[in-house]
Amino acid sequence: MPSPIFPSCPPWAIPVPEISLNLLALPKKTTNATIYRTHFLEILNSFPNAVLCFTDGSKFKNKVGFGYSIGDKTFSLRHRNSASILTAELQAIFQCLETVLSLPLLHSRSFLICSNSLSSLSAISNTSSTHPLVNRIHTLLPTLISIPFRITFIWVPNHRDIRGNENIDAAAKSAAHFPPHPTSHSSYKIRPHPFHSS
């Protein structure tokens, strides 16, 4: 695994990521999809004009892929076969933020990054983490905030008919079956392959 890239500021100076775990208050076993969608829309309504993004990672046997969407554009990529599901989930979030950083200024400067990976969001919340991808995310966040962009992470449950989340789940699963890149031996050498762009 590559060495971590540490943020230029010490952990206590890294902005604390804004993470919403509100939907965790709903017990998954007894909460139906309609209730989840209703509460999710209530969260979205508290961020008027925000750009909605979804991220996901997928591992099928020894094949790994991930996907992310920004507004109506969706991207899916193949990862190295030995990558863990956590690495795939974090890679999706990192690539999403990196793409946001490269975008021309939009009508909105607020982005909602929706993920069904509680482990990833917990890792991102730890500003003292030494995980290489978490370090990269922590390095990007201050730059994005300085533009200024508002970045908010939102946990969403999987398989509860939240449309954007279901779409990115399909994109990540599809990416796991893309042909592997001949040099995809590290966590960060990946094969870009647009799943859908409209």
Query: Which CATH number is 154's domain given?
Result: 3.30.420.10
Q: Are 90 and 137 a contacting pair, CB within 8 Å?
A: yes
Torsion of CA 46, 11, 80, 101, to 10 degrees: 50
161 lies in which domain range? Answer: 11-197
The per-residue pLDDT for range 111-136, each reduced to its tens digit, is 999 999 999 999 999 999 999 999 99
Q: What's the whole-model pTM score?
A: 0.86
The per-residue pLDDT for range 150-197, each reduced to its tens digit, is 999 999 998 887 888 989 999 999 999 898 755 443 333 344 444 443
Q: Is residue 71 part of a domain?
A: yes
Query: How many structural domains are present in the chain?
Result: 1
> Does an H or E element contain 190, and which?
none
68: which strand partners?
A: 55, 75
Q: How many whole angstroms separate alpha carbon 56 and alpha carbon 69?
A: 9
The dihedral sign for the CA sequence 147, 41, 127, 94: negative
Backbone phi, then psi, for 6, in 5-degree steps? -85, 145
